[in-house]
Amino acid sequence: MNEKEKDLPLYLEKLQALERRLSPNHPRYQTVVESYSRSIAGYKGEKSLDYYLSFLSKDNYTVLHNIRLHNGVYYFQIDYLLITEKYILLIEVKNYAGVLHYDPHFHQLIRTMNGKEVALPDPLSQIERQKFQLLTLLTKRKYPYTPIETLAVISNPLTILKTSNNQEDISRKLIHSGNLARRLKEIDDKYKETRLSSKEIKNLSKYLLKINQSVKLDILEKFNISQQELLTGVQCPACGALPMKRLHGKWLCQICKNKSKNAHQIALRDFSLLINETITNKEAREFLRLDSDATTKRILTSLNIPFTGVTKDRRYYIEM
């Protein structure tokens, strides 16, 4: 499977860093914690699909994961994009729990959980919009016409799916992840004509990965938190306490007495995730809570990271 290798999405890493750098007494701390646990659940739901997709032959399917595209006006994101020589398949993954009832008349998904009914965004309309966007993009790039299929997959195996009678088209579009293989086979059987050569497939996936835009999200702005509200200092990798003290070329935790040689690396990465991807000596000195410019410079130089500028104006590029 030619999957785009993917670690934790940047957005989740930013949330994690923000949680680390906020005091539990901060008025927005709880919101950040809740947002993180919601996002990680969604991410795990998506990842669970990898298992089902791992059975696909990589000769027949090119699988791209979490592709973020720009159509010239705004961004749209596709959880999974499968390219075959006969069709393209878009998959939207939802980890909704409870009992879901799809109402085709009003295009809404109604969830019943703990005796309460709520309307959720309709994944079928959502994925139709993505299909339209992709189609526009492919036409613009003059790719040969290729049918685009769509599926909304519920990743939670305990979720119950319901729809009104005679809604077979809905049950073909909205499925449990366990039914993915069977549904893929049906889609495969439906198409006979070859639309894309293996060269075109390679070219298309390369193009999509190239324009794949990762979210340059300013997380502090999103939660309306200023840089001054963040906790500074090097965090102890053993107990999480802040700040560690620099002593004889090492970091010492004042709480658990743990010693570390490179605990500053995580702190600098936090800086880059939350504040800026480049850092000056002065900024690093303040953020790491160091006493001297010389020590700060020694630490930054020891990282062997690229920089621009000379002496005081030098900016180091914190590698991600």
State the residues that interact with Zn ion by CB under 5 A: 236, 238-239, 241, 253, 255-256, 258
Comparing CB distances to Zn ion, the nearer of 119 and 239 is 239
Beta partners for 108? 103
CB of 312 to Zn ion, least distance (A): 34
CB of 14 to Zn ion, least distance (A): 24
Q: Among residues 183, 202, 175, which one has the least CA distance to residue 59?
A: 202
CB of 242 to Zn ion, least distance (A): 9
- Is the peptide bond prior to 121 cis by the omega test (within 30 degrees of 0)? no
Q: Which two tokens stand for residue 17?
A: 């860093």
| d(C-alpha 240, C-alpha 234), whole Å | 9
Comparing CB distances to Zn ion, the nearer of 253 and 288 is 253
DSSP designation for 106: T
Comparing CB distances to Zn ion, the nearer of 209 and 239 is 239
Placement of tokens 């999974």 in the chain: 80
CB of 232 to Zn ion, least distance (A): 17
Comparing CB distances to Zn ion, the nearer of 220 and 241 is 241
DSSP 3-state of 176: strand
CB of 53 to Zn ion, least distance (A): 41
Q: Among residues 273, 293, 306, 311, which one has the least CA distance to residue 20?
A: 273
Comparing CB distances to Zn ion, the nearer of 209 and 256 is 256
Cβ contacts of residue 113 below 8 Å, gap of 6+? 97, 98, 99
CB of 236 to Zn ion, least distance (A): 3
Comparing CB distances to Zn ion, the nearer of 146 and 235 is 235
Comparing CB distances to Zn ion, the nearer of 110 and 241 is 241
Angle at 24 between CA 23 and CA 26, to 5 degrees: 65
Angle at 133 between CA 67 and CA 3, to 5 degrees: 20
CB of 258 to Zn ion, least distance (A): 4
DSSP 3-state of 198: helix
| d(C-alpha 35, C-alpha 117), whole Å | 22
CB of 19 to Zn ion, least distance (A): 18
CB of 249 to Zn ion, least distance (A): 18
**How many angstroms separate the Cα of 147 from the Cα of each of 60, 86, 90?**
16, 7, 11
Comparing CB distances to Zn ion, the nearer of 37 and 254 is 254
H-state helical runs in 143-280: 168-173, 180-190, 198-211, 219-222, 264-274
Q: Look at strands 174-176 and 148-154 and give their pairing.
A: parallel
Comparing CB distances to Zn ion, the nearer of 9 and 233 is 233
Cα torsion 175, 180, 182, 185: sign: positive
